[in-house]
Amino acid sequence: MKNPPKNLPSAVVITPVFKNQKNSPSLPHATEAGETIFAVIEGQPTIFVGLGEEKEITLLGVATTFATAIRLAEDKKYINVVANIPAQLFKIADGKKVGETMSRLADIAIYRFHDYHTNKDRHTNPIVDLLWQGIPVPQQKDFAIGMSTGSAIARATNFARDLGNHPPSYMNPEQLAREVEELGKHIPKLAVTVLRKKEIEKEKMGGLLGVSSGSAQPPTFIIMEYAGGKKGAAPIALMGKGVTFDAGGISIKPSSKMDEMKFDMMGGATVVGAVLAAAKLQLPINVVGLIPATENLPSGTAMRPGDILHMHSGKTVEVLDTDAEGRLILADALSYARRFKPAAAIDLATLTGACVVALGESYAGLWSTDEKLTRRISAASEQVGEKVWPMPLGEDFSCQIKSEVADIKNLTDRWGSANTAAAFLQEFAPTKNWAHLDIAGVAYSDRLKPVRTKGATGWGVALLVDMLRGFKVQ
């Protein structure tokens, strides 16, 4: 641990306040649910956090409010924080779950990305010590175990955020592959293999090759294999879109906010984070992570609208819009996953603006061909607070992707286009137990949100880890 900077306030206490306490003379004024108030009471710096009605509290609600308070403490340059957890929280959740959730959200809240700030005054001073108080003695051991788990998930989440926050001039497909290769060198039971252009050509990944053809940066195809389960047990396959910069190709995007297209790799970054967390937590399950990585740029060598691609699966795809590229590279990843004979397969992608129009910036869309997998993902979503909303598949959408000149096409009419994009991916699903998460609205943000700062969010790492922990594979 680094020595703390000098001349900074040393400690602040976080104190929970329930609604029925609001008239207490020690409080500066009423504190509503989710609100944080900084005050100095008899010389003691204090952050009051409003929890609302005592009978209505939830673990996620309390943890989110505390995490927001911890971020406030860091912004005010406090290096030591004492957080008083309300005893009532242990009546609705056990010590492990409380420790995990409080720790995970706190570590996510104090994440900062300073790699390119040369002015050190802009760097946030890190909290040196965070002391949790109020844990009942019988729960203290479990709380500590939960804290360790939560911190591991948060570190993996923040690693995914780092991958997305780097500029595309640095975080290109090759650099992404190197970052993941480095993980494989140091983490037990985690093997990393990277297919580069010649090997991708041998695999006949026409989608990945087509999308990458406009860029001077060659594509990579990253394979992560975590062997935590029984030898020979079917793995869970996770696929993530890894477009490190998306200009739209020949069908070029508008210039406004094109800088945000460095986040088009967050599906892939989330898969990296989830597999990393599974390995760090030594989950008793086998997991395969597949990340097709490329840029999507316009040039004289770029694929054109009207081109027909020969995909890894053998199917042909008519390209009507080169900006509908995520489904092309994910199709190759889904097809490649078949060789692992997965028990279930989940892909994540910042796939469509239509999903953001439909669900906004708080929910990811969820499409699935398996009801049990849908329930498992939905349950994990509720546990960790990363929201999903089930969306429809079926012939109404599948019929729209049929092409007159190829097997299928990569673009349909505007209406319901998030659903037809999912229907496109369904054509390549490696198993009947398949789900697709469109994370376009939740993968990054241009404004502060509860707990998360601007930029890449790491949304989905905690959800996937919780889903993996509950998966039973024979």
Q: Could you list the active site residues?
A: 253, 327
Interatomic CA distance for residues 28 and 14, integer angstroms: 14
The enclosing H or E element of 137 equals: none
Dump the DSSP string for 410-443: S---STTHHHHHHHHHHTT-SSSSEEEEE-TTTS
Dump the DSSP string for 57-86: --HHHHHHHHHHHHHHHHHTT-SEEEEE--
Render the burial of 59-82: b for 16+ CB within 10 Å, e for the rest. Answer: bebbbbbbbbbbbbbbeeebbbbb
Name the 3-class secondary structure at 287: strand
Residue given tokens 């729960």 in the structure block: 139
The residue ranges of DSSP E strands in 161-282, in sequence order, are: 190-195, 220-227, 236-240, 242-246
The two tokens of residue 39 are: 């005050």
- Orientation angle between helical segments 417-426 and 326-336, nearest 10 degrees: 30
Interatomic CA distance for residues 406 and 427, integer angstroms: 14
Dump the DSSP string for 145-168: HHHHHHHHHHHHHHHHHHHHHS-T
Render the burial of 86-96: b for 16+ CB within 10 Å, e for the rest. Answer: beebbeebebb
Q: Tell me the sheet residues that pair with 37.
A: 48
